[in-house]
Chains A and B, each alone.
Chain A
Amino acid sequence: MSTVATPRQKLSRNLLPDAEPLQLLTASGEAVPGGHLPDDRVLLDVYRRMVIGRRFDAQATALTKQGRLAVYPSSHGQEACEVAAVAALQAQDWLFPTYRDCVALVARGVDPVETLSLLRGDWHLGYDPHAHHVAPQCTPLATNTLHAVGLARAAAIKGEDTVALVFVGDGATSEGDTHEALNFAALWRAPVVFLVQNNGYAISVPLSKQSAAPSLAHKGVGYGVTSMLIDGNDPAMVYTATQSALEAARAGEGPTLIEARTYRIEAHTNADDATRYRSEDEVLSWLARDPIDRLDRYLSARSVLDTGARARIVEEAEAFAASLRDRMNADPTLDPAALFQHVYATPTPALRRQAAKVTQ
């Protein structure tokens, strides 16, 4: 992110991404000259949800240390992608997240305890996917890209005004499913947006060992997918790029691949030791490009955010975390009989007999 590209009023629909990431807000929170930023109201809402999201993330990490979660993959540092992309969605749109996207789920309105069921381990999924149009979090990685394309294609067949937004990481761009999904999406002009959160590492493996492409956004080009490279720690840019791609999809212009350059401040999960593969200096350099600080500076300079408003948001985040802590400190209700339900629409005789062995 050494150079700042000048964003355009209407983002182009070129297949080839820009050579350098597009930016609307510099790392110090100044508007890039000539850029067309989202409304202050939109950005204040993104700011608020990022602050709550980061507090949620910290609380989830703490709950993991207390043994309340089996594991937690933090998205600290990636809040611009997690929140601003979701903020651009409409109610009828669908989100296809990965395991690292709990903050995105919370930003979408999914109950935080239901969000954490997978990671607490009381069930594989705690929320109703249909309630918020959020697919189950994808753990194998990249497989969700095909689900998103299929859902989007079905929406087009049914005449629904629905776009699917699918999250993948840099590592998942190496999986075959991502490539098949880009190809199917382009052929079908499916209303789908691929957001690659390139945080530089697939657990420990750096991007340099993942891809020799000029950028991950270039991976869309060969399939005929419009591709963009953006600063993934710039909430204004993530919102604008996502919204632009969503609207293009809605207008029948087909899919878009967005590579958002960001960074995972924490280790892969609580079980990981990031000091084995990256330097403290590198982490510090990314802390200086923090998405929340950046938007805070911008909104403060415009007097959209003041001390009182900031305090109210922090207070809301604290209350959100306290409620989450209280609810997560209650043991979940577990029912072993549930293991046998919904394997098939109607339980088989063999499963009924097996269920009896754990419920008697």
Chain B
Amino acid sequence: MSDAPGSNLKYVSRKRRVREDKRFVAGTATFAQDVNLPNMLHCAVVQSPYPRANILSIDASEALAMAGVRYVLTGDEFRAHADDMKFGLNTPQVKWYPLAVDLTRYAGEWVAVVVADDPYVAEDAAELVDVDYDPLEPIIDPEDAYVETDRLVHPAHGSNVLYDGHFYWGPVEEDFAAADDSLSYRVRWGRSSTVPIETFGVVARWDDAVDILDVWASIQMPNYVELLSSTLRLPLNSVRLHQDVDVGGSYGVKRGIKHSVIVGYLSRKLRAPLRLIEDRLVNMASGDAHGPDRIFDTQVAFNNDGKILSLKIRALDDAGAYPSRAPFQLAKPISAIVGPYKINSVQYDAISVTTNKTGQVPVRGFGQSPTNYMIETAVDKVAAHLGMDRVEVRRRNFINHDEFPYQIPSGSKYDSGDYHTVLQKALDTAQYDELVKRRDTARAAGRLAGIGVATCLEPGGGNNIFEYLMNPSAEITTFSEGCEIRVDPDGLITGIMGSTTSGQGHETLVATIIGEDLGFDPDDIRVVHADSLNAPITRSPVASRMAIMLGSSAAGAAQKIIDKVMAIAAHNLDRPSDELEYADGTVFDRSDPGRALSWKELCFIAHKAYHKMPEGMEPGLQAQYVFQVPGGGQLPDEHQRVQIYPCFSFQSHIPYVEIDPGTGHVSILDYVIAHDCGTMINPDIVRGMVIGGLAHGIGAALYEKFAYRPDGQFESATFADYLMPSVYEIPMVKDVDHCTPSPLTSHGQKGSGEGGYLGAPAAIAGAVNDALSPLGVSIHELPMRSHLIEGLIHAKKASQ
């Protein structure tokens, strides 16, 4: 079922307040660090100053002698009582413990945890833990790590290579041989992340009386409860995650599993509730929340008319010391490996290496943003090489609106799209011809001015089969999401979801869809985040999936409610249900609308009047629905082709920049985004996601970098070193929407959380290189910091 906007929808796609916002403006939201339990103890971590060192001894006696200090936990003790944290790759000798055992693997790695009555005392005592290290030479550069045989991050693993996979989809060599031309290039995506303003925090309390570990955490992660319980060797149903905790930003990175197993272990050991809140320095250096750090070497084959035939891609990603699920960020891009273009064949070499750096986690887009930067660079390069317009080359390669569903070489069937129209909307909004004149006028006046044109596909709602592609022992072919609706005897409606929320507005999503489908004002519908022992199935709000998956499951549950009241009505009105109609809670006879049962009557019967129920019907009025990922559920074929994500949103970005030739500073003066995520459930939420993602993209393109010295010391532990966009760095973005409904979801909706971040780095890189093009120089690494651009400009001028 699909509804184009502007049809008879009452609540979906309408501008309505986002219900979550009230508690945020009132200051009454409950974040993990607002959870304050009686007699709660506090943790502080002891960090390794060396990127790679043998731990010779740990002496905690002085710390333990301090008043108020309760305990000091080391890696040895943890390993003796718990397992290593598993992360999905088939690398059994890469052991990840929350505290270093024998060997430290990056500067800042946690070596011990101090527990005290008071957080100030815990931090004081952490400085008194005396660790004796034998420093070793680290391995920092990812290309070096790939071939290194001696300096191994995980010696038992036998190399620094975590994954080295090769994919061939379609006749790559034939297409290269047949093409008029080809070119090759390297681009580098720098190590950055989305760095939420809330650091990671977790509170745990073990209750002996019920054998339950209660956890409150600022978490956004599938498999969190599974990993927590298995690491601590607890039954899965002994962990209760309180999913009503508000998460202060995540964008993929709030994955504090190591923090959580520590407090989980200690709360059992010490029979006390514990809290561990990262301070900012710990968060940056050792929260294990860095993002992709990727080198692409790409060859592109094309014809003289601008048609791109084939790609050969080598992607080398630096996962850091403990990779979590980071290597899988090389696999999501497989689902859109040709972007929105009709490219016939692709070779993809995906390599993940480990180095002596902070661990990497999934970041917004799960690896798709670096890949999109690489793809869009290819299109710009082809256009420049042929002397063609960048817009025209894109148009010539786009999949046409009438070609959907469209299967790409790696197996994905794109559900729907209208790329030509969305790009045209962006061009119209940007007044592209005028923009070109403005750029040329600026250039004539001696300024460095440039326009970027980039597009991106946002795969949403994936089924986890990427894990199988990289580790065939993981036969996981679904990634479902559930929702439950309970209607009480008064007829009031409650939607029940699992999962925490970190700003996506899931309560609004559920209320809007239930309200739409059942015909009730969403403001009258309660929505709760049940804890993990009570909630329907959830795989968490990753993969741009909640509008698709949670939204469709809410609609599925609503349909079950309708089916049930229709059956009750048919029984009581003595009419076959196909002659009855449901509208806004009432069921009536289509040919005799006065013959009807009201919502109140239906709810009373369901809850109280069993004698009026159809024979054998379950009492009450409640329904749970678990939505399966559309088009999924299959293993890859013999050519490793598979459907990973069902829905594909699309955006076009057009920024206008000017560069100060003296400093290399890039000013983004204007920015247009046209976006198409199918039906928007709440337009304000979509707009916020689009522009917020764009802001992350500006950070990744121009400013944000976790920098390391060649000796492995970390240089970006504060907000004075790791630069993020303030209001001054974000232009007054103009956004325009378009709707190509997905045929696969309840209301035609697709994902919208990632597109801004997927398109912006590519677009800004295109604009910067357009601005630099009159000088004959270009830059192919992110972030494009001022000093790099200034260096290029001055080297060019010096050579002239």
A and B pair up: no
The interface of chain A, by Cβ under 8 A from chain B, is none
